[in-house]
Amino acid sequence: MQWTILGAGAVGSLFATHLQRSGQKVNLLDTRQPHRQQAKPMLLEQLDGSICMCELDCIGYQDLAQIGCLLVTTKVWQVTHALQPLVGLLPESCPIVLLHNGMGTAEWLTEHFPHNPLLAGVTSCGALKTDASHIKHTGFGETWLGALNAAGEQWQTLVSPLADALGHAAWSEHIQERQWQKLVVNAVINPLTAVYNQQSGILLQHQDEIAALCLELRPLLLQQGLTNTANEWQELVLQVVDRTAKNYSSMQQDIANRRRTEIDYITGYLLQQAEQNGLELPQHRALYLKIKALESQFVTA
Ligand SMILES: NC(=O)c1ccc[n+]([C@@H]2O[C@H](COP(=O)([O-])OP(=O)(O)OC[C@H]3O[C@@H](n4cnc5c(N)ncnc54)[C@H](OP(=O)(O)O)[C@@H]3O)[C@@H](O)[C@H]2O)c1
């Protein structure tokens, strides 16, 4: 199996280095480049603090023969732009796995790659790219894969090499439910921590806000077939807050570092779904507007 990583940032580099170290063939694809670039040395700092060196081949969007299972690990707002150069070129047998937070890219993918096996992944692995060639594994996590179309169902075989590489990976028959669960957790923790500009643990002091945001989402979640009570959603969010209390969320970091956030595909996606279903989410909308106002200081529309 040839694995091709599109988006060698924190998560992409973590997956690439772990897959290579477990004996898989891995290369990095940059669709901003037509052809192969110099191989990239990468220094992986593991959970136990040990450090190892990897070297990864780098290919461009015209090196089609070298693209294997395509693991897309860009930020969610980069996905369509990053995949666009491959539309009409990528062999139809090549599976595409989306591994990002937020939702709203699967529709575009299905439209533009209708014959490819399409899959989605949800991971709680933690990774930090401290510089261009230094990747730090910051937290052990679970990785779940599932099919987005019928052809994707044939690719459960991807799970075993990922599990060997990462320590955990499993197949989910309900991947969209897992994506929604992560979406809810992210929609509460990410914007609140970005607005407070604090580590996630600060939210233990704002449990009333968490409760209100969960309660407001309940009708929409019920319509999606997610039957948890508002209290159960709140519990789920609090468990993650507790587990990640000392971490800075990705949205807090994006705002602090003046980078575009994933808000349009997290809260923005929820607002869009609510509107389509005749529902209003005023508290989520207010948070969305606060993040967009912060973002507008450095991101032009
Ligand atoms: N980091 C974590 O611990 C973690 C955990 C779970 C889930 N996630 C999710 O995983 C996704 C990726 O997060 P991340 O932290 O890894 O982000 P990241 O470090 O910003 O990585 C994204 C990478 O994609 C690259 N990229 C963008 N367009 C590209 C293209 N056309 N061709 C090749 N590469 C391209 C970016 O390059 P440039 O920088 O040059 O644009 C960047 O290196 C996000 O949805 C995030 O929410 C992250």
pLDDT for 58-92, tens place per residue?
999 999 999 999 999 999 999 999 999 999 999 99
Residue 168 has pLDDT above 90, yes or no: yes
Ligand 1: does its nearest atom lie under 6 Å from the Cβ of 79?
Answer: no
Q: Are residues 91 and 113 in the same domain?
A: yes
Q: Decide which of 130, 157, 172 is a domain's last residue.
A: 172
Q: Are residues 96 and 202 in the same domain?
A: no
Side-chain half-sphere exposure of 227, counting CA atoms within 13 A: 0
The 3-state DSSP class for residue 291 equals: helix
pLDDT band at 301 (very low <50, low <70, confident <90, very high): confident
**H helices within the chain, ranges in order?**
10-21, 79-83, 106-112, 159-166, 175-196, 207-223, 230-243, 250-256, 267-276, 282-295
Q: Does 248 fall in a domain?
A: yes
CATH number at residue 80: 3.40.50.720
Q: Are residues 66 and 213 in the same domain?
A: no
Ligand 1: does its nearest atom lie under 6 Å from the Cβ of 11?
Answer: yes
From the alpha carbon of 125, which atom of ligand 1 is closest?
5
pLDDT band at 178 (very low <50, low <70, confident <90, very high): very high
Q: What is the pLDDT of residue 153?
A: 98
Q: Are residues 80 and 112 in the same domain?
A: yes
pLDDT for 242-290, tens place per residue?
999 999 999 999 999 999 999 999 999 999 999 999 999 999 999 999 9
Q: What is the pLDDT of residue 300?
A: 83
Q: Are residues 153 and 181 in the same domain?
A: no
Q: Are residues 63 and 195 in the same domain?
A: no
Q: Are residues 160 and 185 in the same domain?
A: no
Average pLDDT over every residue of 170-188: 98
Q: Which residues contact 81 (CB under 8 A, 6 or more apart)?
A: none
Q: Are residues 17 and 163 in the same domain?
A: yes
Number of independent structural domains in the chain: 2
Residue 295 has pLDDT above 80, yes or no: yes
Handedness of CA 13, 14, 17, 22 (dihedral sign): negative
Q: Does 187 fall in a domain?
A: yes
Q: Are residues 76 and 130 in the same domain?
A: yes
Q: Decide which of 172, 205, 240 is a domain's last residue.
A: 172
Q: Are residues 141 and 192 in the same domain?
A: no
To which H or E segment does residue 6 belong? Answer: strand 2-6
CATH number at residue 276: 1.10.1040.10
Q: Does 300 fall in a domain?
A: no
Q: What is the pLDDT of residue 284?
A: 98
Residue 45 has pLDDT above 80, yes or no: yes
Q: What is the pLDDT of residue 43?
A: 97
**Closest-CA residue to 46 (of 136, 130, 127):** 136
Q: Does 301 fall in a domain?
A: no
Residue nearest to atom 31 of ligand 1 (CA): 82
Q: Does 42 fall in a domain?
A: yes
Q: Does 53 fall in a domain?
A: yes
Query: Distance, CA 189 to ligand 1 centroid (Å)?
Result: 19
Q: Which residues contact 74 (CB under 8 A, 6 or more apart)?
A: 6, 7, 9, 12, 82, 100
Q: What is the pLDDT of residue 146?
A: 98
Average pLDDT over every residue of 40-60: 96
To which H or E segment does residue 38 belong? Answer: strand 37-45
Handedness of CA 60, 62, 65, 67 (dihedral sign): positive
Look at the chain and count its residues. Answer: 301
Q: What is the pLDDT of residue 70?
A: 98
Question: Given phi > 0 = left and psi -120 to 50 = alpha, else beta, which region is 140?
Answer: beta
């607005």: which residue's tokens?
A: 195
Average pLDDT over every residue of 195-219: 98
Q: What is the pLDDT of residue 213?
A: 98
Cβ neighbourhood burial of 6 (10 Å; 0-12, 13-18, 19+): buried
Quick one: tokens of 65? 């023969």
Measure the CA–CA gap between 104 and 102, rounded to whole angstroms: 7
The 3-state DSSP class for residue 64 equals: helix
Q: Are residues 100 and 189 in the same domain?
A: no
- Domain range for 219: 177-295
Ligand 1: does its nearest atom lie under 6 Å from the Cβ of 126?
Answer: yes
Q: What is the pLDDT of residue 227?
A: 97
Query: Distance, CA 73 to ligand 1 centroid (Å)?
Result: 5
At how many degrees (to 10) do helices 230-243 and 207-223 cross?
Answer: 130
Q: Does 151 fall in a domain?
A: yes
Ligand 1: does its nearest atom lie under 6 Å from the Cβ of 104?
Answer: no
Q: Does 128 fall in a domain?
A: yes
Q: Decide which of 129, 144, 172 is a domain's last residue.
A: 172
Measure the CA–CA gap between 54 and 20, rounded to whole angstroms: 8
Q: Are residues 22 and 105 in the same domain?
A: yes
Q: What is the pLDDT of residue 103?
A: 98
Residue 16 has pLDDT above 90, yes or no: yes
pLDDT for 153-164, tens place per residue?
999 999 999 999
